[in-house]
């Protein structure tokens, strides 16, 4: 398979337009339009032209930014002050769900290239969720043990980030509350 890359982007009437060229062996195909339309067209083209890709996509689990935005639109708002959890559903969220949502929000900001890291400290989580430090610590420990959150230790301290399994768990848990 050849090279796939974005050749150009330009702003037209405040709508971003992208051009993507996909080369397979000695054939090239160009897709032009909004990022969403191009992404969809490229995906359909590749699953048709590369049959094994379709098989792999059926068992692969990796959430894209648009998927995360769709899945958690009822709960996460990206504000000028940063991502915020705003629960308009009328359903009470558990401490674990609040923490996981905050971590998903940070992941989204990282994917948008607005944050340099997709992880948070326990203190950041506590400040943004309003939960008590002991509760944050206990819930993080439970989420790490379940595999929903990954604990990252470095010279800068301990940070936490949501895992793919954690996103799946959170989405399923919130869907069951609807």
Structural contact between residues 34 and 17, judged by C-beta atoms closer than 8 angstroms? yes
Q: Mark whether 113 and 148 lie in a shared domain.
A: yes
Q: Mark whether 50 and 126 lie in a shared domain.
A: no
Q: Mark whether 38 and 79 lie in a shared domain.
A: no
Nearest in space to 160 (alpha carbons), one of 143, 173, 177, 138: 143
Structural contact between residues 17 and 10, judged by C-beta atoms closer than 8 angstroms? yes
Burial class (CB in 10 A: 0-12, 13-18, 19+), 172: exposed
Q: Mark whether 92 and 169 lie in a shared domain.
A: yes
Q: Mark whether 41 and 101 lie in a shared domain.
A: no
Counting the structural domains of the chain, the total is 2
Q: Mark whether 164 and 117 lie in a shared domain.
A: yes
Query: Can you give the pTM of this predicted structure?
Result: 0.68
Q: Mark whether 147 and 87 lie in a shared domain.
A: yes
Which CATH number covers residue 163?
A: 1.10.10.10
Find the domain containing 41 and state its range. Answer: 4-59
Q: Mark whether 20 and 81 lie in a shared domain.
A: no
Q: Mark whether 20 and 102 lie in a shared domain.
A: no
CA 38 to chain centroid, in Å, comes to: 19
Q: Mark whether 128 and 167 lie in a shared domain.
A: yes
Query: Block means of pLDDT (10 residues each) for the chain, length 178 residues?
Result: 48 70 79 86 76 59 83 89 86 94 94 89 95 97 96 92 94 87
| CA distance linking residue 54 with residue 122, whole number of Å | 39
Q: Mark whether 54 and 124 lie in a shared domain.
A: no
Which helix (H) or strand (E) is 127 found in, with range? Answer: helix 122-129
Q: Which of these three, 59, 88, 104, is where a domain ends?
A: 59
Q: Which pair of structure tokens corresponds to residue 64?
A: 């894209």
Q: For residue 115, what is the DSSP state? A: S
Q: Mark whether 73 and 39 lie in a shared domain.
A: no
């Amino acid at each position: 398979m050849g090279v796939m890359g974005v050749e150009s982007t330009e702003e037209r009437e405040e709508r971003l337009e992208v051009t993507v060229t996909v080369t397979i062996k000695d054939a090239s195909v160009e897709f032009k339009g909004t990022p969403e339309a191009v992404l969809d067209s490229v995906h359909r083209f590749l699953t048709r032209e590369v049959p094994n890709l379709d098989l792999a996509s059926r068992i692969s689990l990796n959430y894209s930014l648009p998927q995360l935005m769709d899945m958690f639109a009822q709960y996460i708002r990206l504000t000028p002050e940063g991502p915020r959890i705003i629960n308009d559903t009328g359903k009470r969220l558990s401490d674990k769900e609040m923490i996981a949502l905050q971590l998903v929000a940070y992941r989204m900001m990282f994917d948008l290239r607005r944050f340099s890291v997709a992880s948070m400290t326990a203190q950041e989580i506590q400040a943004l969720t309003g939960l008590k430090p002991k509760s944050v610590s206990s819930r993080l420990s439970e989420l790490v043990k379940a595999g929903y959150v990954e604990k990252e230790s470095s010279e800068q301290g301990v940070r936490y980030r949501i895992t793919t399994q954690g996103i799946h768990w959170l989405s399923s848990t919130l869907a069951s509350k609807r």
